[in-house]
């Protein structure tokens, strides 16, 4: 997770995971985060952000997928 995302975080609201294939000792994994939804809240100060996440092994196989939902400070509201 980037420092910028951590600094903006108000709350970690939700997560889900589905494991699709086994992972073994010695495997190399990478995580891919894709912004799926951004909804600014009526206060103008925060936004709901949903990230879809995939974990990929060294054979380019998706071994797990899921999502995270965050409440973040809106960077446009910072002065």
Residue 16: what pLDDT?
A: 97
- The residue assigned the tokens 């196989």 is 61
Q: pLDDT value at position 1?
A: 61
SS (H, E, C) 34-57: EEEEEEECCCCCEEEEEEEEEEEC
- pLDDT of res. 44: 83
Kindly report the number of other CB atoms within 10 A of residue 63's CB atom: 16
Q: What is the per-residue pLDDT for 8?
A: 87
Q: How many CB atoms neighbour CB 42 within 10 A?
A: 6
What pLDDT is attached to residue 76?
59
pLDDT for res 59: 97
- CATH architecture assigned to 3-77: Roll (3.10)
Q: What is the pLDDT of residue 79?
A: 45
pLDDT on residue 74: 83
User: pLDDT below 50 — which residues of the chain?
Assistant: 79
């Amino acid at each position: 997770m980037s420092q910028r995302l951590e600094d903006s975080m108000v709350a970690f609201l939700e997560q889900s995971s589905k494991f699709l294939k086994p992972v073994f000792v010695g495997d190399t994994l990478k995580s891919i985060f894709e912004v799926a939804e951004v909804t600014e809240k009526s206060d103008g100060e925060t936004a709901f952000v949903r990230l879809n996440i995939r974990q990929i092994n060294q054979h380019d196989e998706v071994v797990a997928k899921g999502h995270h939902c965050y409440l973040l400070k809106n960077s446009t509201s910072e002065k």
